[in-house]
Amino acid sequence: MAGCSSGSSSSSTAAATAAATGSPTATGSPTASGSPQASPTPGQPNGGTQLQDAYQMVIANVLPSVVQITTGESLGSGIVYDDKGDIVTNAHVVGTATTFTVTLANSTTALDATLVGSYPDSDLAVIRLSSPPSGLKPASFGDSSKVQIGQITLAMGSPLGLSSSVTQGIVSAVGRTVTEPQGAGSPGATIGNMVQTSAAINPGNSGGALTNLDSQVIGINTLAATEPQTNGAAAPGIGFAIPASTITNIANQLINQGKVTNSGRAALGVTARTSFNQQFQPAGAVIVAVTPGGAAASAGLQAGDVITKIDDTQVDSLNALTTALASLTPGRHVTVTYTRGGTTKTVDVTLGELGTP
């Protein structure tokens, strides 16, 4: 997987040649006046025009809420969250910076912004405009539970520095658990319940809006899949967005409290690393330390125990353990299979909640 913040804040210099198109002219039998009579569109009458009108309506409603964020030599996107100047984006877009330059849609005026708070474990952050202009248009966020495979989506942002760009696709899958690559300002978070989309997501799209045809933001564009066989080149048509429910939960806490105390993410309460067998193959996640009072400690797990399974999910590495936990919720009862002193054991654990780092 690859994050989608751009590595350069300069505008793209790539030349694009596009055919200028207007409204298509349909031809048919001439009328008595000599004007051509339009042939009916197969299927639903005017179906193509209706879909085009729907696209244009969504773009008119949502694009003014999508901004470009510049941080040093990198750039990304963001979404206007409220009329006070709060903007939600990806944590990997802001990185370690605390000051930013923001450009609103259809504007060339650079606005100053400062960091409100960042929560890298969910790859979300909020920044605030220092002097919010009048007429800011906050986005409307949809209900994540109603997102369905096959829904048409539009992705909005600043790919490759091309501000206010829009691509289209569908929801390809829901409930994906994805691990981000590690990099500057990105700890390589594992995020659950992500929305997979076929809408093109490119560097600079990070933090932008993934919307439905009701002009609602259903996710924040976060990363694109890559193909290992092509040295990490982007895999066409496979992008991921953090769902709206996670966005609003984390953003509200960052704005109101400056930190996250209710992450909604399950935690076992351990520090662990990958365990290897005698053949030097990954064979589990060995506990290095147990958090006092945490879920693992309460269940009797100890440093040195090697976790090999969470319920029916095999755990052969630290990454596998993190991925398994990302798909679960705090308070969930799970069975942890582990080895201690060469003996395989199981224990019931009530999962805790991942707190602020």
Print the SS3 string covering the chain.
CEECCECCCCCCCCCCCCCCCCCCCCCCCECCCCCECCCCCCCCCCHHHHHHHHHHHHHHHHHHHEEEEEECCEEEEEEECCCCCEEEECHHHHCCCCEEEEECCCCCCEEEEEEEEEEHHHCEEEEEECCCCCCCCCCCECCHHHCCCCCEEEEEECHHHCCCEEEEEEEEEEEEEEECCCECCECCCEEEEEEEECCCCCCCCCCCEEECCCCCEEEEEEEEEEEHHHCCEEEEEEEEEEEHHHHHHHHHHHHHHCCCCCCCCEECCEEEEEEECCCCCEEEEEEEEECCCCHHHHHCCCCCCEEEEECCEECCCHHHHHHHHHCCCCCCEEEEEEEECCEEEEEEEECEECCCC
Neighbouring CB atoms inside 10 A of 101's CB total 15
pLDDT band of residue 356 (cuts 50, 70, 90) is low
Calculate mean pLDDT across residues 225-233: 71
Q: What confidence score (pLDDT) does residue 232 get?
A: 64
Catalytic residue among 86, 121, 123, 305: 123
Q: What confidence score (pLDDT) does residue 205 get?
A: 92
pLDDT of 224 strictly over 70: yes
Q: What confidence score (pLDDT) does residue 103 get?
A: 95
Catalytic residue among 206, 215, 275, 317: 206
More confident residue, 355 or 341: 341
Rounded distance, CA 166 to CA 168, Å?
A: 7
pLDDT band of residue 167 (cuts 50, 70, 90) is very high
Q: What's the pTM?
A: 0.75
What share of the chain has pLDDT > 70, as a percent? Answer: 83
For residues 271-281, one letter each, b for 16 or more C-beta atoms within 10 angstroms of the residue's C-beta and e for the rest, the string is ebebbeeeeee
Whether residue 112 lies in the annotated active site: no
Whether residue 92 lies in the annotated active site: yes
- Exposed, middle or buried, 313 (CB in 10 Å: 0-12/13-18/19+)? middle
Whether residue 333 lies in the annotated active site: no
Q: How many alpha carbons fall within 13 Å on the CB side of residue 130?
A: 11
Q: What confidence score (pLDDT) does residue 36 get?
A: 41
pLDDT of 147 strictly over 50: yes
User: Can you say how many angstroms the Cα of residue 141 is from the centroid of all Cα atoms in its chain?
Assistant: 14
Q: What confidence score (pLDDT) does residue 39 get?
A: 45
Q: Which residues contact 84 (CB under 8 A, 6 or more apart)?
A: 128, 132
pLDDT band of residue 231 (cuts 50, 70, 90) is low
Calculate mean pLDDT across residues 81-95: 95
pLDDT of 69 strictly over 60: yes
Catalytic residue among 65, 77, 92, 163: 92
Q: What confidence score (pLDDT) does residue 67 get?
A: 97
pLDDT of 81 strictly over 90: yes
Q: What average pLDDT does the chain have?
A: 85
Neighbouring CB atoms inside 10 A of 41's CB total 13
pLDDT of 330 strictly over 60: yes
More confident residue, 127 or 31: 127
More confident residue, 66 or 327: 66
Q: Are 333 and 322 in contact (CB under 8 A)?
A: no
pLDDT of 37 strictly over 50: no
Residue from 313, 315, 280 nearest 305 by CA: 315
- Ranges 39-43, 280-284, 334-338, most confident: 334-338
Q: What confidence score (pLDDT) does residue 18 get?
A: 26
In tens, the pLDDT along 9-27 reads 443 333 222 222 233 333 3
In tens, the pLDDT along 244-287 reads 999 999 999 999 999 998 888 899 999 999 999 988 899 999 99
pLDDT of 333 strictly over 80: yes
In tens, the pLDDT along 185-211 reads 666 788 888 999 999 998 899 999 999
